[in-house]
Structure 1
């Protein structure tokens, strides 16, 4: 590794002997209370529901840091959010003291204290947070203590601080072992918590880092774990287990986030559902090897944690060198929807978040595969534009000798054999139709049968010069941590972006990183490869403003919050079968909002499962995401094209709602009828889906409830009627009336609390309900007359 060299801060003064600080941060219904007692490593006393009493400033002695009458970190201006929910110094002390455990028999003689970086010197007998060593074997058992604290960049001197969302920097050190840690703890306005640690070696002798994992405590009655597994074509499959003594360890050694990634690890009290049960959840924001863990020791203490998984020798810190770990995001909520909303609101608050008016996309992969023919591709463009498609993406097969997946990968030069006049004729045609143009790349990979591999075999990742990993999809990994290899890929991609008017890159990554090392030395290089990929994306975006990038990795094998700092959507899965996508879209959205999820309408027979589905089910599934098409439109009937045109028109008319509203999952996750939707921020409109994903053991379904709406309002419900009637649809009376008339007026309280009778549908059918707040001139039906006008709200 070539760690970042940073000067070691020797000027920071340590707190006075025995200094104690208690910090309370609160935002969006969440409180975080930190205890730094006697200068020890910070411990989380409370992370969960907001504490404090609204309306007061707290007892005297509670400091307002930083600034007393301004935004966090400034003087002047409005109060920080939730600043009024103060506990006061005495209550903070009482809360921290009440959290101190008793000393059990046959244990250390002081109460065990779980720090954010767990360490044995505090009596912790579970997995340590920081492990590593020097050549003589020392340095493996650090004793980190707090040297200074800064809140929003200002030194923290007061013993008690309460404020709204803010970032706390804690400088830790073990001066004897020559280790310093900068720990960032930030509560965001969404109520989402994130933590990150950076380790610096302050001695002259090198330090080999093995692991840096952060931990957050969860209540002892959080008895259930929920995380995810999966495989290619069936990503993000939920799995539940009991939280018992020991370690639930999910280590990912694929060199990418993985189709079987943990995604989000939850610990929950009994009764966890979409809108019930308290849950605490973590996500490691890293696109290479990483870990998540849930651990309980025999005292009953429980934690969730995560960090990067480092291979032997990947991080060797010289004097003054620093390793910066990934962000560990943590979300608390009352139910899974609440947990998800915190992630979504954080992502949507970023200044570089995507525009919700996302272009409807045609990707030509399942239409033509490697058979690139200008006449056929321009015909697809004509058909797509006539339907209302706004972006056209040319997939794999346009470069080098790439006529199938066995050769050419890594040679990012337009094939003269297939494209004698270059890509210009196709791009000009596409843009002349008013559509954007996108192009497929796989920058981190290479075929052995390629010009670049023949010229530079040393650029292929391998554990030794005379040994090479097993092929996967006939390809190997190109080592971007080698500067010349990095420059080769960057320059070839940049040349194409400068030559052609390209708006969008579909960035693929089709194999795991097995035996991934620098071939000349045999040194593991997954860590450096991951950072180089980030750097390449950042550089291309900086030099080509407005360029969008899609993260595709054998489908959905690279979905994490760090890759989404530099990409604009993820491809949920290579499987576009709508039945499978109902599950995968549902659980991908536990972390990211719908506008970041590529969701396409495929051909009638799924290319990955062989199932046949109606266009109605395919489209009703796909509109909950960034809509696209993956279908040979030349093979579609006129009836299918007309129905597809209507679905695209429906989507574009509701696009802003679908891609900015709050996700709501209204079923219990056990029924054969899945009910989910999107509700506008002002609760004025919503679109809900009723999707039959199987057959129910009962002849009728549960009543339909539509959470998230305003119980005090009145709404007009309209079934969405596009194309043929869904198979097996038997509508209850209210739905029949809504379909025959211009919708049906229903009080919001009935929709949110009592519910409506559910229709019957054959399996693998779906029906959408469009909901809008009634106007003041609308009337609720009454006995014998049109009813009373609805009051203006």
Structure 2
């Protein structure tokens, strides 16, 4: 690299440095201003091309199943770049103009303080081209002002004379990170009923030092992770992280795909590289044929920076709030009662619902969602007959389902319904009414069938029209204000990426037509807990775990994947529970979105009072949750940990810090460090839940919170207020 070819872009929260000269433009460094780390000139050969992709007939540049070192990446030549802030264009450089690669350009730093209009995002597009195929490649970057997060994707346009078949498109390729010797790599297992289980190991455990001085090659080993199929977070979250063990710098990423994705981390030039990607041919049987003049955009990915895992996740949380669709629900955070979990379990009737509606309203619920089964009139079962989404007459005699919805409204709550819109049962009349082209199909035109259900393809207008009619009837005619959109099959088939993008587009169009509607995203719990879906839906189901004792590690780790105000956490108190058990299940939800369930209609008055107290506590603190960032005083929770803790730092706002602390066993006392309050002697400590403290004792010692929970299982929710936020 020479100084003449350098280009610096960013803002006061993020600096990105490029070499746009030489044979191949390269991304040299992503960091926070004044942050320690390798200088761009020290990265040298560890820097990688801005974009890496594979085409049919091109292959890779060396042996091994890696998404770096492809034949095409080093061939891409610089053409131009353009930077904007908000709606304002402020720099453009073109290779055909004299002075393109003059002195280092720092236009973003010069103009950011004057750009007080626009949408608050800095954007940069670097255009490259392949002289052999004629392919134009656009590396697109974006970052919200002041937030240390880089968003990235690659867009393609075939400017050549012949079709090209794309087999992979990287969303972000970054080399020059610290040596694998210095890095911990984090991943999160995400399984049905056991979501968000993070684990870490030294990167060197997977990427061994093979003696580069002898072989003059980097190791072919890499940490590789992929999500396959229409449950993008089945198996693992579409996330990962590095933490530098020498200076605590953290890098945390997510791939924003509601379909398939891949990421890998390995070694290049004694440094670490990171590659983030959407679906690929090798991993997911995906490819895209671009005719001359056609375009294709890869999936977005985001990289957040911070001190340690917690600091990087705080930046990612802020980014997630900025990138999502605005909606009043993100401000109000209403309490939702859902009749399913450990309660009606898909068997609603008017007789069962009416007393439950009255009890939920008395407990303080603001929405009431009738879950699955409301459409079931089939003696053979509803699983493989769904699709028409018409109410059962047998379950709702007399006034029909409208009488139930009216009862919900009369008790001051907004009515909701469960829906599984993308599936059509093989026995449903809809399966015969819609054309084959309205469904995802295998090669040869055979419909995808999973567990007795077909999968709609929302790229087809007939499939979209069917769902539009369904939602406009339920929301527009019946007055339903909440939809829990579930998805209980998974498939991996060609066309899935197009469908997933059409699915998100359809959701957006529904909210355009019905702006007050609240949508909960669910796929057997958290199997579709991806960044693309979270940017459209208002709530995210985090789990369908029915055992209250196994909920704490899920509830505590859910904010790694979803902001607290979007993460729906079940609380299902039962009349058979002791007071301690009621408080335990309620306490697990108070730092997320309360999803209340349970047979409240069968509770004794003193039991229902416990529920009311918890709901009232939640309403008193929810204004802080919508801007809070999470941290973990005891580290990220393990599945069998006896003590689990989640912290939320609510700033700006009241400046309060909240802690949920669960004890499932072990010694009755733990110390919980709270670093941002360390050294303050005047910290006020208040137990918010359970009412009356339930035997818990909590005190501040100047650096940590001492928590005593005499019995197990037990939970305590605490508010700390320091001298300054």
Q: In which range does the TM-score fall when normalised by the shorter chain?
A: 0.7 to 0.9
Which of 335, 349, 352 aligns to 2:326? It is 352
Give the Cα separation in 2 of the matches to 1:161 and 1:194.
21
Give the Cα separation in 1 of the matches to 2:360 and 2:169.
50
Does residue 224 (structure 1) correspond to residue 224 (structure 2)? The answer is no
Aligned partner of residue 484 in structure 2, secondary structure: strand
Aligned partner of residue 255 in structure 1, secondary structure: coil
The structure in which a higher percent of residues are strand is 2
What is aligned with 2:51? 117
For residues 148 and 713 of structure 1, do their structure 2 counterparts lie closer, same or farther at Cα, with a shift above 3 Å needed?
farther
For residues 124 and 356 of structure 1, do their structure 2 counterparts lie closer, same or farther at Cα, with a shift above 3 Å needed?
farther
What is aligned with 2:257? 286
Kept in 2: contact 1:625–1:659 (CA 8 A): no
Superposed counterparts of 1:355-504, under 5 Å: 355-366=330-341, 367-399=343-375, 401=377, 404-419=381-396, 421-456=399-434, 458=436, 459-464=438-443, 471-472=450-451, 474-504=452-482
What is aligned with 2:603? 636
Does residue 239 (structure 1) correspond to residue 223 (structure 2)? The answer is no
Kept in 2: contact 1:285–1:328 (CA 8 A): yes
Which of 669, 673, 692 aligns to 1:705? It is 673
Superposed counterparts of 1:234-313, under 5 Å: 234-243=194-203, 244=207, 245=219, 246-270=221-245, 277-297=248-268, 299-310=269-280, 311-312=284-285
Give the Cα separation in 1 of the matches to 2:603 and 2:444.
52
Give the Cα separation in 1 of the matches to 2:665 and 2:467.
47
Give the Cα separation in 1 of the matches to 2:546 and 2:393.
32
What is aligned with 1:151? 83
For residues 227 and 313 of structure 1, do their structure 2 counterparts lie closer, same or farther at Cα, with a shift above 3 Å needed?
closer
Q: Once the 2 structures are TM-superposed, how far is the Cα of residue 128 of structure 1 from its aligned partner?
A: 6.3
TM-score by length of 2: 0.84
TM-score by length of 1: 0.77
Superposed counterparts of 1:314-329, under 5 Å: 314-329=287-302
For residues 645 and 717 of structure 1, do their structure 2 counterparts lie closer, same or farther at Cα, with a shift above 3 Å needed?
same
Kept in 2: contact 1:657–1:678 (CA 8 A): no
What is aligned with 2:315? 342
Kept in 2: contact 1:131–1:209 (CA 8 A): no
What is aligned with 1:168? 124
Give the Cα separation in 2 of the matches to 1:119 and 1:600.
42
Q: Once the 2 structures are TM-superposed, how far is the Cα of residue 464 of structure 1 from its aligned partner?
A: 4.9
Unpaired runs of 5+ in structure 2? 94-99, 113-120, 208-218
Q: Once the 2 structures are TM-superposed, how far is the Cα of residue 386 of structure 1 from its aligned partner?
A: 1.0
Which of 9, 30, 53 aligns to 1:47? It is 30
Q: Once the 2 structures are TM-superposed, how far is the Cα of residue 118 of structure 1 from its aligned partner?
A: 4.0
What is aligned with 1:505? 483
Q: Once the 2 structures are TM-superposed, how far is the Cα of residue 558 of structure 1 from its aligned partner?
A: 0.8
Q: Which has the larger radius of gyration?
A: 1
Kept in 2: contact 1:182–1:198 (CA 8 A): yes
The structure in which a higher percent of residues are helix is 2
For residues 756 and 291 of structure 1, do their structure 2 counterparts lie closer, same or farther at Cα, with a shift above 3 Å needed?
closer
The more displaced of 304-313 and 590-599 is 304-313
Q: Once the 2 structures are TM-superposed, how far is the Cα of residue 445 of structure 1 from its aligned partner?
A: 0.9
Give the Cα separation in 1 of the matches to 2:313 and 2:575.
32
Give the Cα separation in 1 of the matches to 2:722 and 2:44.
51
User: Structure 1, residues 723-755: CA drift from partner, whole Å, max 9, x if none?
Assistant: 5865xx574xxx4xx7xxxxxxx6xxx43x2x3
Q: Once the 2 structures are TM-superposed, how far is the Cα of residue 702 of structure 1 from its aligned partner?
A: 4.6
What is aligned with 2:214? none
Q: Once the 2 structures are TM-superposed, how far is the Cα of residue 597 of structure 1 from its aligned partner?
A: 0.1
Aligned partner of residue 432 in structure 2, secondary structure: helix
What is aligned with 1:686? 657
Kept in 2: contact 1:730–1:760 (CA 8 A): yes
Kept in 2: contact 1:295–1:303 (CA 8 A): yes
Which of 160, 181, 185 aligns to 2:137? It is 181
For residues 437 and 402 of structure 1, do their structure 2 counterparts lie closer, same or farther at Cα, with a shift above 3 Å needed?
farther
Superposed counterparts of 1:496-645, under 5 Å: 496-514=474-492, 516=493, 524-604=494-574, 614-645=581-612
RMSD: 3.4
Kept in 2: contact 1:142–1:177 (CA 8 A): no
For residues 113 and 687 of structure 1, do their structure 2 counterparts lie closer, same or farther at Cα, with a shift above 3 Å needed?
closer
Aligned partner of residue 509 in structure 2, secondary structure: helix
Does residue 201 (structure 1) correspond to residue 170 (structure 2)? The answer is no
Kept in 2: contact 1:250–1:262 (CA 8 A): no
Kept in 2: contact 1:314–1:525 (CA 8 A): no
Kept in 1: contact 2:330–2:566 (CA 8 A): no
Give the Cα separation in 2 of the matches to 1:412 and 1:253.
29
Give the Cα separation in 2 of the matches to 1:19 and 1:688.
51
Give the Cα separation in 1 of the matches to 2:8 and 2:428.
58
Which of 9, 34, 41 aligns to 1:97? It is 41
Aligned partner of residue 449 in structure 1, secondary structure: coil
User: Structure 1, residues 178-212: CA drift from partner, whole Å, max 9, x if none?
Assistant: 21111112232311111111111112422111100
User: Structure 1, residues 230-286: CA drift from partner, whole Å, max 9, x if none?
Assistant: 321111222323321412211222223123223321122238xxxx83221221000
For residues 500 and 700 of structure 1, do their structure 2 counterparts lie closer, same or farther at Cα, with a shift above 3 Å needed?
closer
Aligned partner of residue 160 in structure 1, secondary structure: coil
Aligned partner of residue 186 in structure 2, secondary structure: strand
Unpaired runs of 5+ in structure 1? 1-16, 54-91, 102-111, 133-138, 517-523, 739-745, 775-791
Give the Cα separation in 2 of the matches to 1:705 and 1:633.
37
What is aligned with 1:719? 687
Give the Cα separation in 1 of the matches to 2:53 and 2:278.
18
